[in-house]
Amino acid sequence: MLVRCMARLRAGATRIAASEAGQSTAEYALVILGAVAIATLLITWATGSHAISKLFDSVINKVLPS
């Protein structure tokens, strides 16, 4: 009787561990999607405000003074 109960507990623990592994994969996917959304917004802002070209111009002007 005790052996059967222990076997059922182990089987249940295995199912829980497998579902938690899937849950962490989904959490990683959501974090990556959030990072992509933030990066897209940042790139859109930077290209719209010409911040990237201003940054490159200032770096080039400091490296190669006129």
For residues 44 and 30, give the distance between their C-alpha atoms in angstroms, rounded to a whole number.
Answer: 21
Transcribe 21-65 into DSSP letters: HHHHHHHHHHHHHHHHHHHHHHHHHHHHTTHHHHHHHHHHHHHS-
Question: Does residue 19 have a pLDDT over 90?
Answer: no
Under the banding of pLDDT at 50, 70 and 90, the label for residue 17 is low
Residues 6+ apart with CB under 8 A from 45: 51
pLDDT at 22 over 90: no
pLDDT for 18 beyond 60: no
pLDDT, average across residues 13-27: 69
